[in-house]
Amino acid sequence: MLLAEQKALMKKKLIIACVLTALCGNAWAQTRDIGLQVGVNAPVSQTVRIGSDMMLGLSYGQFHYNGLGFRTGFQYAASTASINDVIGVPLAFAYRTRSRSADERFQAGATGARDAMVYRHPYGNSQKAASFLGGFLLNLFSEAEFFAGVTPGYIIGPSETPSKEVVPSRPTWSDTWVEKKNAFSLSLDAGATLNYSIWRFDLKLTPAIHYNLTNNYIYHLTSGEKGVDAIHDKTTPLRWFFTLNGGIAFRF
């Protein structure tokens, strides 16, 4: 009887120890950050010329000691492909490299600056100086982060109003506009982030590429000749987008 009680007590102690180890280990192993980002997004197309638009975002990430983690948040674009007010909730799996020491960072920066100086730039010394500075700063990052995921979202604004272009010297006219085909959107995302750590703060630089699965943005080009009934209508889906964001985050 006594032996059975001792075994039961030992089993309870083992369970409690495992739970405490898991909780303490998990708290020690995980790194969290929350931050703000601002940047631009632009359609990627060889035939359509649409300017870039500003976007704002709130980001939250959580990473385990082995670098694996996830990232989510909320983003708002004042305009995407000329359609106003677009919101999204990015959801991504991520991998973060180990933190580099200060010596490693400065050595990498010096190597990047040296490589920029060795390269003979065709636009002269001013561009070479910019390349030197860029090579140094880009290699000073403390960590690199790679992510892939999806962004479900919603397009609030209506389709763009057609804008007519008339060439006085030619008997032609053209209308261009972007149609919002669907309000709900979903995109595939992939990108990388360079972290520049200062104490518990991270300065971030994040380029990313996005593929629109739901075919939300349709570019229309309608053209014709004055006095002629024939009208040519060309449509181009805008599926690929590029974003470049910068921001600051706090680790805890």
The phi, psi pair for 71, rounded to 5°, reads: -140, 140
225 within 8 A of 194, measured Cβ to Cβ:
no
Q: Is 79 part of any domain?
A: yes
What residues are paired with 94 via a beta bridge?
69, 147
In-domain check, residue 5: no
Rounded to whole angstroms, how far apart are CA atoms 100 and 114? 20
Asked if residue 229 is part of any domain, the answer here is no
Q: Is residue 226 part of a domain?
A: no
Q: Which domain holds residue 57?
A: 32-100+141-156+180-216+238-251
Query: In the prediction, which pLDDT does 175 show?
Result: 82
- Give the per-residue pLDDT at 27: 43
Give the strand order in the sheet containing 231-238.
163-166, 172-180, 217-225, 231-238
Task: Determine phi and psi for 12, rounding to 5 degrees.
Answer: -65, -40
Domain count, the chain: 1
Task: Tell me how far the alpha carbon of residue 98 is from its chain's centroid.
Answer: 21
Give the pLDDT score at 225. 73
**Does residue 121 belong to any structural domain of this protein?**
no
pLDDT tens per residue across all 252 residues of the chain: 555 655 565 666 556 655 444 444 444 457 999 999 999 999 998 888 888 899 999 999 999 989 999 999 999 999 999 999 999 999 999 999 998 877 776 676 677 666 666 665 555 555 555 565 666 666 778 899 999 999 999 999 999 887 666 556 666 777 888 999 999 999 999 999 999 999 899 999 999 999 999 999 999 988 777 666 557 788 999 999 999 999 999 999
pLDDT of the residue at 107: 74
Instruction: Report if residue 124 sits inside a domain.
Output: no
SS3 state of residue 15: helix
In a domain, 147, yes or no: yes
- CATH code where residue 87 lies: 2.40.160.20
Determine the pLDDT at residue 7: 56
Q: For residue 90, with 0-12 CB atoms within 10 Å meaning exposed, 13-18 middle and 19 or more buried, which class applies?
A: buried
**Assessment of whether the complete model's pTM goes beyond 0.85:** no
In a domain, 42, yes or no: yes
* CA 153/CA 52 separation, integer angstroms: 19
